[in-house]
Amino acid sequence: MATLKQVAAHAEVSVQTVSNALNAPHRLRPDTLERVNRSIELLNYRPNRNARSLRTSAVELIGYCVPNWPNQTHLVMDQFLHALCAAAERTGRHILLFTAPPGVDGMPVYDDLHARRLVDGFVLSQTETHDPRHGWLKEQKIPFISFGRVWKETTQPGPWVDVDGAAGSAMAVRHLHEAGRRRIAFLSWSKSSGLAEDRLGGWRKACKELGLPTSGLAVRCREDSITEGARATAELLDADPFLDGIVALSDILALGALRELGRRGLTPGVDVGVTGFDDSPLADVVSPGLTSLRQPMDDIAAELISILTDPDGPPDASTERLLHPELVIRGSSAPG
């Protein structure tokens, strides 16, 4: 493994010049630069990142806590991680994975990783309603960026990027309305979820604007499962035989709706239009395909990394980015 010194000796310049050739090539005369680059090539030199980091005290590594919630599967996690890595790499950085206990119990792990200079900062996801991590990190002045809002009544304890769930639900409602649906229900979760309330609100608002009924058409599911989605759908259909549209808070709940429709001999996309959220791999693998609201993962990741690594210093709490989901239309809402 060649070092800077060896390259310098080979190119007959000082180490400083080799370092500049790498980090500030404009400072060198073209012929010197070329000579140095030839030596770098020839010796197959790669700068040692640890030495660099020790000197600059920046490791160019971003911490991400890999979630472990058996009961809430993150079906689009591989997409998110891939996008996050790719975005980090575009700035010469990488993602360091770690595990930590949920909530505030995990914070010493974050603190330790930062203090020992294994990472420069953190990307938080799986943000929970009233998530305590953000406030803690802010307190410790540890740089971070959140994917997802904390949904506190007061201001957000830090910068965030999120997808506009209300706008997503509204898009789904308008799409179903255009397809002729007039009684559109909403499958939700518990009231305590900020995310659920956001998406529910978008459904209600869009229905009102289009003059569609909402009363009795929102059902809360106890958990995010196919079974619960099917149960809620059964409840809706029993109460309202003219129901012709279902906007579900998640792909899993939507899959439950599809199953209950099938059980009753109703054809999704023909008798009842159904939409989900997240455009998980399942949406494309069922038949009919599930219309779903795709989170723009590449844009989300790019914003997260760009805010966290802003050269003007660590982000403050006023940085907010609300991105729009994209409706991916499949057979469950529009037979074709």
CB 257 within 8 A of CB 246: yes
* Closest distance to DNA from the beta carbon of 21 (Å): 8
Site membership for DNA, residue 311 (CB under 7 A): no
Please pick, from the candidates 9, 43, 85, 327, the single residue that binds a copy of itself as defined by CB under 8 A: 85
Please pick, from the candidates 11, 13, 61, 170, the single residue that binds a copy of itself as defined by CB under 8 A: 61
Question: What is the SS3 assignment for the chain?
Answer: CCCHHHHHHHHCCCHHHHHHHHHCHHHCCHHHHHHHHHHHHHHCCCCCHHHHHHHHCCCCEEEEECCCCCCCCCCCHHHHHHHHHHHHHCCCCEEEEECCCCHHHHHHHHHHHHHCCCCCEEEECCCCCCCCHHHHHHHCCCCEEEECCCCCCCCCCCCEEEECHHHHHHHHHHHHHHCCCCCEEEEECCCCCHHHHHHHHHHHHHHHHCCCCCCCCEEECCCCCHHHHHHHHHHHHHHCCCCCEEEECCHHHHHHHHHHHHHCCCCECCCEEEEEECCCHHHHHCCCCCEEEECCHHHHHHHHHHHHCCCCCCCCCCCEEEECCEEECCCCCCCC
Considering CB under 7 A, how many residues would be counted as binding DNA?
29
Q: Which stretch binds DNA (CB under 7 A): 40-48, 121-129, 167-175, 312-320?
A: 40-48
Site membership for DNA, residue 32 (CB under 7 A): yes
Q: Which stretch binds DNA (CB under 7 A): 45-53, 147-155, 161-169, 222-230?
A: 45-53
Residue 327 touches which of a copy of itself, DNA, none (CB < 5 to 8 A by kind)? none
- Binders of a copy of itself in range 195-234 (CB under 8 A): 225-227, 230
Site membership for a copy of itself, residue 267 (CB under 8 A): no
Interface mask (CB under 8 A) for a copy of itself, residues 90-129, using x and -? ----xxxxxx------------x--xxxx-----------
Please pick, from the candidates 34, 38, 41, 51, the single residue that binds DNA as defined by CB under 7 A: 51
Site membership for a copy of itself, residue 132 (CB under 8 A): no
Residue 95 touches which of a copy of itself, DNA, none (CB < 5 to 8 A by kind)? a copy of itself
Residue 9 touches which of DNA, a copy of itself, none (CB < 5 to 8 A by kind)? none
Please pick, from the candidates 15, 74, 266, 334, the single residue that binds a copy of itself as defined by CB under 8 A: 74
Binding footprint of DNA on the chain (CB under 7 A) = 1, 3-5, 12-17, 19-20, 22-23, 26-29, 32, 45-48, 51-52, 54-57
